[in-house]
Amino acid sequence: MYNDINSSELKQAGQYVLSDVVLTSFQSSEGQNKPKRISVRSMVTELNIYESLTNKTVSGNIVITDAQNVPNHLPLTGFENIEFKLFTPGTSRAFDFTAETGHPMHIYKISDRQGLNPRTQIYVLHFTSKEMITNEQVKVSRVFNDTIDNIILQIFRNELNSNKTLILEETKGVRKFVMPRIRPFEAIDMLSKSAESKKHQTPGMLFFENAIGFNFKSYESLLASTDTTARPVVALYRSQPANIRDGKGNRDVIKEMQTVQSFTINSQFDTLKNLRNGVYNSRVVTHDTFNKTFTEVDFDYLTEYEKSHHTEHDGQGSKTDAKGIMPFYNYNKGNTFSDYPEGTLYFMSDTQKIHNTTENGKDAEIIPKYLSQRLAFESFNISLDVPGFTGVSCGDLIAFEMPAYEPAGKDNHFDNDPYLSGRYLIKAIRHKVSITDDYHNMNIECIKDAVKDPYPQEDLDTLSERGNKDKINVLQYELDEATMKEPGELV
């Protein structure tokens, strides 16, 4: 977090510490019981590291300007490790890929290899976590009868054979799953969709890796703590001058670190997409083959919204029912926009007693709500370019003050956009370290499922009776006959 930075160690925004960068071969070093190693720190011109809520593992790449022909002399084969440590001075959180204190990454690809001159070449080495390599080598093919968090723990420690930190959110109920010989991450995906948080109301979970380790959490756990109080933000990003001074005229490096250099609004709303994908409403038709019954379960965004925590709260850290992405208004003769569940239909089995007395999950209730919230987050999606900082990770909450883009006036004292400003969840981060420029910056992709200030509400039906009411039907053949009788010239 920015508040925890030791400002005596951090002198300017974009400062970084990059240790030695070492490539480790599968070959032994001169017959010793040690791998062959080569330092490429002096050859690195650019380093990129990626972490995301939608990716299972951390990944990245390095750009190498090479006059020693490392690909031939190591050699590079796609079965090497890369070891280094990257961190921002003054903070303890780091990307530690060293063998001594962290976990080396696996090089899996070389790309864009080309000659600069007869003695120098440039290429890109791509790396990923060891768990991604393991995921492609093994399958999960056994029966589990446990809580979902414990099942994921078993898969993580056994099939993926990982020693990394795993932060688990506990889930409700003992469930039975028969894994049909699928990859570990596929099994985790299947489990995540059916999981229910033990403390929170939002179903469905996320499984991802960041600089801290692996995480298995619900969206609501990222937004609120166990005592159901909204989590504080770890940063406040603003578009402001770069050289910020405190009251004594000294540079305020902490505020400079939170200066937005540029930003892009990737998405603000897409009503058609949300209608098609069940964000506002949906209907689940279930079939119980044991009892030979059909059941319909409807999901209503406006009803469910107030039951969960979202990126915005009521100002006191509690839930709110007024800041959703869909305004409450009289859409059509007393109906709201969420009163049309047939727009999105899901069909699924709800057969009881498949595993004797083992309880089944409530997928008909879980999946529509999980999908609605996951897709609602994509309604507000922005990207921020800011100075690099290893103290924030995907899954953290930040605040962003977006300019109002209007003349200053008494109706907007803070000169901020009332809807797009506010709290955001970090979906993804790209860390870019330019060795040439000696600068670390990052692009942060941020999402939210609520507005800072509530949208207006409207009880009057202001839209449904507007437009031309004349209903005109025309038969094509009659139209052709009338057209052909009129004088004209064929071309």
Q: What is the pLDDT of residues 45-97, one digit of tens each?
A: 999 999 999 999 999 999 999 999 999 999 999 999 999 999 999 999 999 99
Is residue 453 assigned to a domain?
A: no
In sequence order, the β-bridge partners of residue 94 are: 87
Q: Over pLDDT 90: what percentage of the chain?
A: 65
Of the residues 133, 165, 194, the one at which a domain ends: 133
Alpha carbon separation from 235 to 164, 243, 338, 413 (Å, rounded): 27, 18, 34, 22
Q: How far apart are CA 321 and CA 223, in angstroms?
A: 16
CATH number for the domain that contains residue 214: 3.55.50.20
86 and 74 housed in the same domain: yes
Residue 392 is which amino acid?
V
pLDDT tens for residues 338-395? 888 888 998 888 776 666 655 566 778 888 888 898 899 988 999 999 999 999 999 9
DSSP H helices, 267-410, are 271-276, 301-305, 363-376
Q: Do 263 and 228 fall within a single domain?
A: yes
pTM for the whole thing? 0.92
Distances (CA, A) of 169 to 148, 335, 448: 10, 38, 21
The residues near 411 (Cβ < 8 Å, ≥ 6 apart) are none
In a domain, 326, yes or no: no
Domain extent, residue 45, equals 2-133
CA 16 from centroid of its chain's CA atoms = 25
Which is nearest to 222 in space by CA: 190, 240, 197? 197
Residue 242 lies in a domain: yes
Give the whole-angstrom CA distance, residue 125 versus residue 113. Answer: 9
How confident is the model at residue 165, as a pLDDT? 97
Task: Using the structure block, give the residue that is written with the tokens 């969420």.
Answer: 338
Q: Is the pLDDT assigned to residue 491 strictly greater than 60? A: no
Confidence of residue 247 (pLDDT cuts 50, 70, 90): low
Residues 116 and 157 in one domain: no
Gap between the Cα atoms of 254 and 90, Å rounded: 11
Q: What is the DSSP letter of 114?
A: E
Give the 3-state secondary structure of residue 256: helix
113 and 207 co-located in one domain: no
Question: What pLDDT is attached to residue 301?
Answer: 92
Same domain, 35 and 146: no
* pLDDT one-digit tens code per residue, 164-205: 999 999 999 898 899 999 999 999 999 998 899 998 888 889
pLDDT of amino acid 191: 95
469 is a domain residue = no
- Say what the pLDDT of residue 404 is: 85
Tell me if 367 is assigned to some domain: no
Quickly list DSSP for 148-204. Answer: HHHHHHHIIIIIS---S-EEE--BSS-EEEE--SB-HHHHHHHHHHH-BBSS-S-B-
Residue 293 corresponds to which tokens in the numbers above? 């019954």
Half-sphere exposure of 257 (CA within 13 A, CB side): 29
The CATH number of whichever domain residue 28 belongs to comes to: 2.40.10.10
> What average pLDDT does range 4-9 have in this prediction?
86
Instruction: Mark whether 72 and 175 lie in a shared domain.
Output: no
Answer whether the bond into residue 75 is a cis peptide, omega within 30°: yes
**Residue 347 pairs with which residues in a beta bridge?**
285
Please check whether residue 297 lies inside any domain of the structure. Answer: no
Average pLDDT over residues 209-221: 96
Q: What is the pLDDT of residue 21?
A: 98
129/61 same-domain check: yes
Residue 305: strand, helix, or coil: helix
* Confidence band for 38, pLDDT divided at 50, 70 and 90: very high
The one-letter code for the residue type at 399 is A
Say whether both 118 and 149 belong to one domain: no
In a domain, residue 26? The reply is: yes
Higher pLDDT, 215 or 247: 215
> Looking at residue 271, what is its pLDDT?
92
DSSP state of 329: B
Judge whether 464 lies within some domain.
Answer: no
Q: Are 127 and 149 found together in one domain?
A: no
Q: Are residues 170 and 212 in the same domain?
A: yes
Q: Coil, strand, or helix at residue 81?
A: strand
- The tokens describing 195, both together, are 């999981």
What's the pLDDT tens digit per position in 112-137?
999 999 999 999 999 999 999 999 99
Asked whether residue 141 falls in the same domain as residue 121, the answer is no
Residue type, 262: S
The structural domain count of the chain equals 2
Point out the domain boundary residue: 102, 133, 164.
Answer: 133
Checking if the pLDDT of 490 tops 60, the result is: no
Domain final position from 104, 133, 162: 133
